[in-house]
Structure 1
């Protein structure tokens, strides 16, 4: 059941991003295809058997999302679903904590460790409420800074996740490594969910808005 609900959350990220970007079929096709590739590899225990390939998948994720960003930057998009995407990070943090309790990742990756991403999710709900009544909030320094902090938070979580996973560059988390990202469906977290959240922050910045 936990795996099914996580898959549902991932699908929700994809659909919300599709809705936000004006139903851009090309970006949905790219993200959807990449999600299928990652799912096949993780279902086949490819990452678990050879964690080095997980690092290659992360590099592939960066290249895929550079392509998507180039497609969507400067186009018209809906702000509300982008903020809803950020609020879903609350749910993602609860998943991470559950995975920690099940000894699939280290405590440092949760809100009880050094992961404060849940506060970005909570504040996204506040910005969504403010935007509903006054869309001028998008131009304020507070909102702009919030987006940059949100991006840095996501990057920090990913770096922590990689360095605590059983890969050649592992630096910590040896007592309870991050093995969750090597298996299905949690391999979709750093390869689909996190990139969509980062992409959504970038689109919300003034430089990306038409």
Structure 2
């Protein structure tokens, strides 16, 4: 779980760093945005990991504390995307990048399945049970290719993939909540492990990345369509003046 979390975070930071020169922001603004992104990501990892190690998330009851962290983190990411720097960064990231990123869910599902085999994850949270998120991870590759290729099918693939991914995450949230400590009979395998370090990174980082990735991907598409519409209006104005 730690290795997957590190790989996903490094991939995101590398992608953000590569996109910064394409934002059109002044060099000083780019440095400031880079420092804020790196600082927030590092701070979140340390905060969540530290609280997990201290047992703060390992408390029965609803709503599950790890999911509260996921929701708060996602809200923070979405809020940041509406800032000037956030919008510039979203426009600079290729549309297919956030789709391809969701392929990391393949590795997550394999780890969950291994956890089920070892008796620390309930069967329902593996692909042998009611968790079909492996299919979303696999679908990210052809969907990303269609979006990257462009054409008439790109937008359909873009929207369909993100909507299906959100539906899958909703299903996982329901299943996970039903298998939290206190929600299953005594002696039955629960999802108690996600309240401990490093498994707390599953809801508080990896699921956060999946959820925010879908929402930001749809926002990216909306921003791209808006830019195209504005460009078309400018072209019409130039033609009218000519």
Fold agreement, TM-score > 0.5: yes
The answer to whether the 8 Å contact 1:108/1:115 transfers is yes
Give CA-to-partner distance per residue, 1:76-124, whole Å, 9 cap, x none: 2233442332111111000000011111111111111111111111111
How many residues end up aligned between the 2 structures?
A: 201
1:121 maps onto 2:134 in alignment:
no
The answer to whether the 8 Å contact 2:147/2:154 transfers is no
Q: Residue 161 of structure 1: CA displacement? A: 1.4
Q: Residue 56 of structure 1: CA displacement? A: 3.5
Aligned CA distance change for structure 1 residues 185 and 37 (closer, same or farther; 3 Å): same
Aligned CA distance change for structure 1 residues 153 and 27 (closer, same or farther; 3 Å): farther
The more displaced of 79-88 and 101-110 is 79-88
RMSD value over aligned CA atoms? 2.6
1:90 maps onto 2:106 in alignment:
yes
Aligned CA distance change for structure 1 residues 118 and 45 (closer, same or farther; 3 Å): same
Aligned CA distance change for structure 1 residues 157 and 196 (closer, same or farther; 3 Å): same
2:48 is aligned, of 38, 41, 56, to: 38
Q: SS in structure 1 opposite 2:131?
A: coil
In structure 2, the residue matched to 1:59 is 68
Q: Residue 150 of structure 1: CA displacement? A: 0.2
1:193 maps onto 2:188 in alignment:
no
In the superposition, the TM-score normalised over structure 1's length comes to 0.82
Instruction: Return 5+ residue gaps in structure 1 as ranges.
Output: 1-5
Q: Residue 144 of structure 1: CA displacement? A: 0.5
